Structure 1
């Protein structure tokens, strides 16, 4: 069973913790067995979940009854509380109360105030036993029986009948052992370490339980109590419907709030980026204005000066550099002349003989100038070109 349970819990977030909880419950309450089945959520979605299915021993008026329940464990267990149901047999009916609705779903403060890693399955079952001992969740389908008590037949076997509450001692309930099967002499002992259910606040008053007299006749007060019970059940159904509707609206508002918060975070990030870009842009504008003022001053200073002759402005510090400069300028002029001679030939201004003769002369002179520049650069200690 442990290996099979381990395979079932492979998709659970806290698989080891959940497996330990299930095994502890299975060893403590032999009437509960782990299973895996498909759970249908209210929104129509489905999920394969592990559940505990079977019966728990509930003492009621000196008798132990096996109450059938079904506990679904969420795949986030123990972060989220389990979903619990009462699963009556064919000869039972659900007794609607503040703790159980008409579908058998169980509502408890222990589930509502579920604390991850503090609340556990053993504590939940202990609270279920205490609660169902005061408010039985099922009663037998019988026209003669008016009192909504648990029906002790088949999987709800009474033990210790005939004891009065004043003389009540912990009765026996069936315990299955590998050697002897069911042992009906094991005393029922509540699980230690959990507070009594009275420690949990009860938000609604207890329901009155209509009781028939010994002669089997129904009096006016019995009819009145039955009507009051029916009205209470109807009000409870309407209250549950209203609660579910309000809960759905609350969930929608919570999702909208989360989306608005995420949108606000995005807008804050965009606003912060825009503020940074604006600051950078202001700095660049300030720098450009400073540069513009410098340019205006330089233009004003140059406009106030006299015109400068380019030839006079370019002077050399030594005759060798002047010879190099003149050779470079003349060589550049020859380069341009050869280019324009080629353009003239292409346009048909000169013929090929004139072009070849002139290009040969200009090329010879250009070669001599380049040789002169190389010799001058070598003489001046400059790098060769």
Structure 2
């Protein structure tokens, strides 16, 4: 049972505590063998930080049986922006099986971690990838025991959670029936594999390999030379197949990386083509604008040259009206504009404290009344002249 309050207190230092809390609770609800803890994590640069981790075991199906693999998943304080750090944590009777996914220290390397996407990747998906990966290639095996008379040449997981050595040949039957080191062979050969007696035991059975294991004939308690030879060939075949599978997985991972790189390059090429086409269009528009500006510049030069050759024009003469009505309208407009400026500057004078409020109100009232009369006069003149109001 997860202590929610304690977990939330551990996640206070995280950048996205709500997201981390939801993912941890989702994992612990589905995988009861994992539980959250808080402890110090030592980084490669020597720094240390209090981080939350998920420790325990995950169920892995290997050759028809389910085994508990011990792991530890450390959540960085920036989770889920950065991928977690994962380790295999073998017990005292286990050893780490180094592969392309697990190094000697137990650190786990996966494409899912390398290509971590904050918006798509999460802890539940990570654990599911670990289960599938470890189902193909177990990360730990049991230490060889001195009591093994023949030595283990292949290793298989045991349902208790560890990995135990699985001998390719059975030891000879002991002469005394009181010897309990190994269970006796059955007296008949009526089983699923004719010629090979089943290995019966009151304990949890070993998973059956895909190649079969040569065993001595029924009723004999000795191992012949051909049995040892077949056992060695089987072990060699398993090792070669394992190496081929590892090489295939490595090449497949490299091929996937190259495909992703190719897709990224294609997308980049499409973006570059789009940018180039847009730049080409902008260049054409710019050339058109330059041509138009050059034409306008030539027109201005000609107008300046023509004006410079003409006589000087008096501004006052240029605005003389053609009729008394237009002159009255022009004078009213000019006086109204002057009153507008006067009112504005009086407001500025009041704001700066140059005049009093009483003086300001009295003068503005007088000017506004005069401005109203001028605007009424302009409206009547425009109506008389037939201009738009």
Task: Report TM bin, short chain.
Answer: 0.3 to 0.5
- The TM-score with structure 2 as length reference comes to 0.43
Q: Which has the larger radius of gyration?
A: 1
Which structure has more RCO (C-alpha within 8 Å, separation ≥ 6)?
1
